[in-house]
Amino acid sequence: MIYLTRRERFNSAHRLFCPELTDQENYEIYGKCSNPNWHGHNYELFVTVKGEVDAKLGYAANLSSISKIIKEQVIEKVDHKNLNLEVDFLKDMVTSTENLAISIWRELEDHIKILGVDLHCVKVVETENNYVEYYG
């Protein structure tokens, strides 16, 4: 069993906002991250797949295929977008790093499986000081 990781990046606007709460309550919980005028990040996305190494070809999966899946299923939908307003797979969710990781997992899982490997980890790095990992 081998673990293969691909990094992709996207730059997005978002705010932390829970619609069941008032603006004041949102501010108390999320602080400046709930600014109604948005802020944004250079997100780094690390997608790790696991599988057996093909004895002939020497790889677990073709890195270009993994990259293509991530770009089509995730990056094109979130890059230079507003995560709260424009991303179907984040609709009605708090756009926390946690929810980003879980939602990206769901977008990728089946597509990765077609390559003959399993999705192992989705890691989303929001700033140099915080990141989230989800293992399904």
Residue 86 binds to its own copies (criterion: CB under 8 A) = yes
Decide whether 52 or 110 has the Cβ nearer to its own copies.
52
Helix axes 63-70, 97-113, angle to 10 degrees: 130
Beta carbon of residue 69, minimum distance to its own copies (angstroms, whole number):
14
Give whole-number Cα distances, 86 to 10, 32, 59, 67, 93, in Å.
14, 21, 36, 22, 12
Decide whether 73 or 78 has the Cβ nearer to its own copies.
78
Among 74, 75, 77, 96, binds its own copies (CB under 8 A): 96
Residue 68 binds to its own copies (criterion: CB under 8 A) = no
Alpha-carbon gap, residue 104 to 85, rounded angstroms: 16
By the 10 Å C-beta count (0-12 exposed, 13-18 middle, 19+ buried), 34 is classed as buried
Alpha-carbon gap, residue 69 to 10, rounded angstroms: 15
User: Catalytic: 80?
Assistant: yes
Query: Which residues of this chain interact with its own copies, rule CB under 8 A?
Result: 1-9, 11-14, 16, 18, 20, 29, 31-33, 35, 37-42, 48, 53, 56-60, 62-64, 79-82, 85-86, 93-99, 101-102, 127-135
